[in-house]
Chains A and B, each alone.
Chain A
């Protein structure tokens, strides 16, 4: 914990206090400025991940017809199907763990320690109890800019950033809403009903989860989530355009032989109409879960046959 404090909590806490002090002693503006800085630092990584994800998505689309053929060919031999699928992925340059490089997942994983450090920084900076303020003394640099603004007020607009959630529920709704938009931009409609169901599930669960976090954690962290999501939307727009945000749901695979009218999203429209998997996080998590479920089903099927 001491090492994490040294490399994460202390720099974030001190920078947050300096920013708040410089920005008219306003903690809310400090949180916004810190979020922008964190996202700027992570920008090369984010862009790299988004581009990598786009590439993977295109590669997946390219191998999709071959994959369908393999599925038909080895329908009765799941083990062989698995081997051939891996081989195909390898040839196409798709990492089996490629889903983990999805920005929705990896971006969150990378930012998670920052969220925790920021959570602690918000609590310590606003010093809800005297003990917290004592703890703060052990994590401050000797910068006068960091200490002269203390104790700092958590009031920002209608919020108290040190308190949990928002009395009017505006912040959790905004956080959930922006998360939904960011996720929808990155998700393309799928012709696979199972995949589509997973996408829908993720599109509902992820914003709800983040909204729940915002409701139960200090509002300062919720503000970080909100600003961070808005920045994500802007970055995604410049790389993908609106993506799947305004795309209509694809017709089920069985019922439609793709007349090219079902998808009107700007990016990856063609891919989606060919029954391609979604581009981003939903696909990532989706492919993990659906892969697992497929295997389980196949195992069950195999057992029944043997019985």
Chain B
């Protein structure tokens, strides 16, 4: 096609303008962060189950003799949502599954980002016929207590589902859902028939697990995204107000009273508070030997007195946000950090060894030695298998890899890329 003389300069001008638009879009688009989430592994009967970035549930056979893992089955249960190109509006792409799966009998239950609760049979041969749609994104994990599954969603509701019901879609227990005033991004915790759940409306709620009635609420100064820890009659929780609280747990008489009609929920008073952090608390704390280990987004793990959390016993500093809850393995407290390292801490002295994992060769490097390839951040909850002395963790940043780290040898037994799995 021939262009007229007048058209050519116009086209070149339009081309220049288009170039400006593309450069601008590119400049803005470069702000996209790598996608990552925090679906942690669960190990049961030599099978490891984990949610993937792409919304799949993956089962790995753990073959102890060869110290390897083989893909057993994989099931796509949710779609990864959000756009990859940052012009879609997200800095990060939302994952299909954030929560760690939970097992009950022969079924593996999971809450997906699309708001559905569903199950996959343990052998991967069947999936729930109809899912339970909560209508809001599920970020935390599901909690199972007896025959009931509890889950919170981004619309601020807590659901209790009857797992004995024939159909998951029609399994909502009477008296539920419980409505809070803000997003629920954490996992409900059920202890002694009381459900503790934190909400972005600044409150921690204690709810009767049977009736769904509120027993009490505890108010803080900012949103609470972390999962509560209940230990020895005390609830421990940290919030976005940079404070870590201890509150007396609900008592049985309180629960019974709340289960009846006409009960007015109370506002719980503070037991003690730690105010020395420089950023938000966003992970469940660990109770160990009369101490509370609380990971913080300021990169520290605070060791606090369980009786009075205002008493700081010690702190361990990492070089990244601490989002994964600390675990105990072989008498050591283990902390995973955004800096891609796991810290093996002696709880008595808080002396530690730190290991970073090369994201391409998967080799562990004991600090201060550094791997050649930057290690992937650890956000997902870790699974500590006391029987085998193996720590399983899911590190995610560009490459998504499950590691099996043997504590006795300080070696990686095997690794498995979850971002490149074959479909069944």
Contact = CB atoms under 8 A, between A and B. Distances in A.
Given A131-B35, A134-B282, A201-B13, A151 B89 contact: no
Interface string B276-290: 001110100000000
B39 to A, nearest CB: 12
B221 A144 contact: yes
Contacts of B78: none
B225 A133 contact: yes
A302 to B, nearest CB: 18
B78 to A, nearest CB: 14
Interface in A136-173: 137-138, 142, 144, 147-148, 150-151, 162-164
A interface secondary structure, majority:
helix
Contacts of A43: none
B88 interface: yes
B241 A147 contact: yes
A205 B11 CA distance: 12
Contacts of B33: 131, 135
A116 B31 contact: yes
B222 A148 contact: yes
B297 A137 contact: yes
Contact of B28 (A119, A133, A151): A119
Interface residues of A, number: 38
Interface string B145-187: 0000000000000000000000000000000000000110100
Interface in A103-125: 112, 115-116, 119-120, 123-124
Contacts of A201: 10, 13-14
B28 A116 contact: yes
B321 A151 contact: no
A239 interface: no
A240 interface: no
B257 interface: no
A214 to B, nearest CB: 11
Contact of B92 (A115, A129, A138): A129
Contacts, number: 110
A132 interface: yes
A164 B88 CA distance: 6
Contacts of A124: 91
Nearest to A132: B91
A151 B183 contact: yes
Interface stretch (B16-24, B60-68, B125-133, B204-212): B16-24
Nearest to A205: B17
A256 B241 CA distance: 72
7 contacts: A128-B90, A129-B91, A129-B92, A129-B94, A134-B282, A148-B241, A201-B14
Given A134-B379, A137-B240, 15 more contacts: A116-B27, A128-B91, A128-B94, A131-B33, A133-B185, A133-B225, A150-B223, A151-B223, A162-B89, A197-B10, A201-B13, A216-B25, A289-B9, A289-B12, A293-B12
Interface of B: 6, 9-10, 12-14, 16-17, 20-21, 24-25, 27-28, 31, 33, 35-37, 82, 87-95, 98, 139, 182-183, 185, 200, 202, 221-223, 225, 240-242, 278-280, 282, 297, 321, 323, 379
Interface of A: 112, 115-116, 119-120, 123-124, 128-135, 137-138, 142, 144, 147-148, 150-151, 162-164, 197-198, 201, 205, 209, 212-213, 216-218, 289, 293
